[in-house]
Amino acid sequence: MNTPHPPETLHTRCCIVGGGPAGMMLGFLLARQGIDVMVLEKHADFLRDFRGDTIHPSTLEVMYELGLLQEFLARPHQETQTVSLVIGGETLKMGDFSHLPTQCKFIAFMPQWDFLDFLADHARAYPHFQLRTLAEATDLIEEQDKVVGVRVTTADGPLDVRADLVVAADGRRSALREKAGLEVLDLGAPMDVLWMRVSKLPGDPSQLLGRIEAGQMLVMIDRGEYWQCAYLIPKGTVEQLRQEGLAAFRAKLAGLAPFLGSRVEELQSWDEIKLLTVAVDRLKQWSKPGLLCIGDAAHAMSPAGGVGINLAIQDAVATANILGPLLKQGEPIGPESLALVQKRREWPTRMTQGFQVLLQNRLIDPVLKSRKPVSAPWIVRLLAHWPLFRRLPARLIGIGFRPEHVR
């Protein structure tokens, strides 16, 4: 009878679970400070379609502070300075980023895998950094009521990674926050999102567009050669939509964006249309001894405004600023130090989610339930009419409530 081999054991100062924006940015920032850090990513690479691809001005500011902005923007991307809504056939300019007090006065659109590859390439330049792919953290290692590492499944067999600090950056379905038993406050979301691609032609509009009609909402992101489209549906109704048939769905798209014309026929299968189940939630407590949650693992955001990546990056910068010096000096990371990260980042999270829930309840949900022609509410018309007012949503989306800066 063969006895199973004990798992291999590795040691690091900080183990980050999840190679998304929060995890990769934190790994890079800690390695830059000379701290031993290991990032575990369960997939073989970062190549997943229909992930958030928005790089906000505040994130571009972080890249500038790191001295990487020019090199970063040399990668293929698209830029927009304005956000517009088409409501009942009327086009309204809702946000103008050109007045932001940042180096880049625009939102950049870049495939998220390019952004993550860029961070990984620069992190690897530091000897203290390790990125292990095909490494899925499945459980916590706890001793005397403290997290001291994670159990990992790899292609080469089981692995134990022991660390002075474990950071869960493994997304809104975080396995680690579940294993830790951290309580989640669910704020609710009335919609889900269907993501798809439709080709783009030279005569198409050139800005970020939201299109609203009775019972329907469509967001179109200019990705150069194609439109990345997000079609909002009432939560839990995707099967009903599929039963109506793909032809009926294509007709809905053509009705919302008539300039697409026959290009909606490019969608030949429901397999080309990906469902994003929307959740808006946050942890009541982001940590327990030895473990800290950041990014979507701490607070799942609505796709409204595309700010989830922005919040995740800000969490990573704040964590590096607050905990980096302690990790560098070899000091223990106590519960009070972990609580400082939540204290720093919880207020902007609450404020952002509050606005997202307000938008969901006052605009998105009524529109998706409506069967009558819609028109722009007075507040929307006010924002669109006065150029000065357009700066407010641009600031909320582009910078947020508490931008972080690299120390």
**Span 386-402, mean pLDDT?**
85
Instruction: Please report, for the chain, the start and end positions of each structural domain, with discontinuous segments joined by +.
Output: 8-187+279-398, 191-234+236-276
Distance CA 387, CA 390 (A): 5
pLDDT at 50 over 60: no
CATH for the stretch 8-187+279-398 = 3.50.50.60
Q: At a CB cut-off of 8 Å and minimum separation 6, what does 279 contact?
A: 172, 186, 189, 300
- pTM (whole model) above 0.85: yes
Range with the poorest average pLDDT among 89-98, 113-122, 142-151: 89-98
Q: Percentage of the chain with pLDDT > 90?
A: 65
- Angle 21-32/112-123 helices, nearest 10 degrees? 20
Q: Give the type of residue at 9.
A: T
- Per residue in 181-224, pLDDT (tens digit) is 999 999 988 899 999 999 999 888 766 678 888 788 898 888 87
pLDDT at 3: 46
Q: What token pair was written down for 197? A: 């691609």
pLDDT at 93: 79
Highest average pLDDT, of 47-51, 236-240, 364-368, comes from: 236-240
